Amino acid sequence: MFRPFNRIFPCAVSLLALLLSLGCEETTTSSYQEPVSVDWHTTLPNLLTGSDNYFPIRAEVKGMPAADIDSVLASISNDAGQDVAQFSLFDDANFYEHNTLDTIFCSKFSGDVIANDGIFSRRINALFAGASPGSYNFQVTVWHGEGSIKSPLDTVIVAQSVPPELSGLIFPDTLSSGFSPQQISLQVIDPDDPGVDSVTAVYMKLYSPESAYLDSIELEALVSNRYGTTIQADFAVARPSGDYIFAFRALDTFETMSDSVGKSVYVENLAPYLNDSVLPDSIPRPTLEDTTFALAVKCWDDQTVADILTVTIQAQKPDLTWGSVIELFDDGNISAYGDTLAGDSVYTRIVSISPSNDLGLYLFHFKGEDKAGNQSEIVDSLWVVP
C-alpha cells in the first residue's frame, strides 16, 4: 500500500499527499478487536488574525497500538473548501525537533506530553491564515497498516477582536466587620460582532493591603450585560483589617483581555467577642483527692465561627504567678472537655483543684483569638477557700 511522504516532509503541503488522502478512505475491515477511531482531544480555540501565539492541537487515536500508526496529518481548509495547509502531529513527548517547511505557523517541538499514549500533538498559531480572516476547518487523518481514518471536522474562526469594555462598578467603599451580604456587579460589553465574538469570563481578583495576590473569583452573568457575585461576612475570615484591592478583568472568545478596573475597599475584621463566663464563685480546697469542675465562656466572631482560631484560659494564682494556658472546646465532647453541645459558641474545659493549691483569689483570663490575629480577653475570679 502507498504511504504519503509526510514522514519525510511531515508538514509540507504536498499534492501527492492530498491525492493519497483522497484515495485512502476509512477502511471497512480491520484486524483490531476494538473499532479504530480518531477524535479531537482538545477544543480548538478561535484565533486573532496575525497572532503568533501558539495553541495546542491534540488528537487521540483509539483502538490500535501507537506502534502501528505510520503518521498523523492535520489538514486545514477554508469556507470555500480550498486546502490551506497541512501539518503533522506527533506522539513523541515533545522530545524531537521537527525542522519542517511550515514552521512559520507550526512549533518545532510538538508540545506532546506522554510518548506512545495515542495522543498526537502539535502547537500552531494563526499565521496559517495569513491576513485572511474567516472560518477554517480542521481535520486529522491517521495512516496505518490497513488504510486510514479521519477525525470529525472542527472549525476555528480567525478574526480581529476588540477587548471587552468594563463600566458601572457597584461596590461599597467599606466592608464593615460582620457586614450583611453584598452583591458586587459591573457592566461588561464586547464591541465585536456577537456572532463571532462575545464575553466568555469576568474575574474579580483580590490583593492584600501589601499588594500580594490572594484569590480570584469568576463572576456570574446577571442581566443587561452585568456580571456579579455576592460576598458575605465570612469573606473576611483570616483577613486582617485593611485596604484591599479588587481588580476586575474580562476575556472574550479570542481570549482578548480587557483593561483592568480596580477599587480599593476597606475590609474590617474585629476581634472575637467573649462574655457569659461560667465558673464557681468559690470552691473548697480538697483535703484528699482533686476536685474537678467545668469552666466555660461564650465566644463568637463577626466573620462567623470559621474565623475563631482558639479560645483559651490562663489562671493567675494568689502568689501572682501564672498557670498553664489551657484550650477550651466547643465540640460536644462532654467526657473529655465537659462541652455539652457542639457549635453553640460555648467553649468549655474541665479543670481541677488539688490539695496543694494555695488558698486565695484566682483570676481566670479568658482569651479568644481569630485567624486574622485579633485577640480579646475577659477576666473572671474564683476563691479557693478552706
| Beta partners for residue 225, in sequence order | none
Beta 261-267 vs 174-175: how paired, if at all?
parallel
Q: Are residues 109 and 230 in the same domain?
A: no
Q: How many CB atoms lie under 10 A from the CB of residue 327?
A: 11
**Calpha distance 363→356 (Å, rounded):** 18
Q: Are residues 84 and 229 in the same domain?
A: no
Give residue 196's pLDDT. Answer: 81
User: Could you tell me the CA-to-CA distances from 160 to 126, 128, 133, 252, 259 in Å, in that order?
Assistant: 11, 15, 8, 12, 17
pLDDT along the chain (386 residues), means of 10: 36 37 42 81 88 91 90 93 92 84 80 92 92 92 91 92 95 97 96 87 97 97 96 96 98 91 97 95 94 95 96 97 96 93 96 95 98 97 96
Q: Are residues 169 and 261 in the same domain?
A: yes
Residues 10/88, Cβ–Cβ less than 8 Å: yes
**Calpha distance 241→206 (Å, rounded):** 14
Residue partners of 75: CB distance under 8 A and separation at least 6: 21, 83, 85, 86, 138, 139, 140, 141
Q: Are residues 97 and 181 in the same domain?
A: no
For residue 154, what is its C-alpha cell? Answer: 472542527
Q: Which residue has the cell 469542675?
A: 293
Residues 290/197, Cβ–Cβ less than 8 Å: no
Give residue 100's pLDDT. Answer: 66
The full DSSP string for 167-234 is EEEE--SEE-TTPPPEEEEEEEE--S-TTT--EEEEEEEEE-TT--EEEEEEPEE-STTEEEEEE-GG
For residue 236, what is its C-alpha cell? Answer: 473576611
Provide the domain count of the chain.
3
Q: Are residues 231 and 88 in the same domain?
A: no
Q: Are residues 128 and 18 in the same domain?
A: yes
Q: Please say which residue of 159, 194, 215 terminates a domain.
A: 159
**Calpha distance 124→103 (Å, rounded):** 9
Q: Are residues 16 and 138 in the same domain?
A: yes
Q: Are residues 248 and 134 in the same domain?
A: no
Q: Are residues 306 and 235 in the same domain?
A: no
Give residue 9's pLDDT. Answer: 35
Q: Which residue has the cell 457592566?
A: 187
Q: Are residues 72 and 138 in the same domain?
A: yes
The number of angstroms, rounded, from the C-alpha of 62 to the middle of its chain's C-alpha atoms is 31
Q: Are residues 127 and 49 in the same domain?
A: yes
For residue 59, what is its C-alpha cell? Answer: 488528537
The full DSSP string for 97-128 is B---TTTTTB-SB---SSTTSSEEEEEE-GGG
* CATH at residue 108: 2.60.40.10
Domain holding 198, by residue range, is 165-267
* CATH at residue 211: 2.60.40.730
DSSP state of 317: P
Residue partners of 25: CB distance under 8 A and separation at least 6: 147, 148
Q: Please say which residue of 208, 238, 267 terminates a domain.
A: 267
Q: Are residues 255 and 281 in the same domain?
A: no
The full DSSP string for 65-86 is -GGGEEEEEEEEEETTS-EEEE
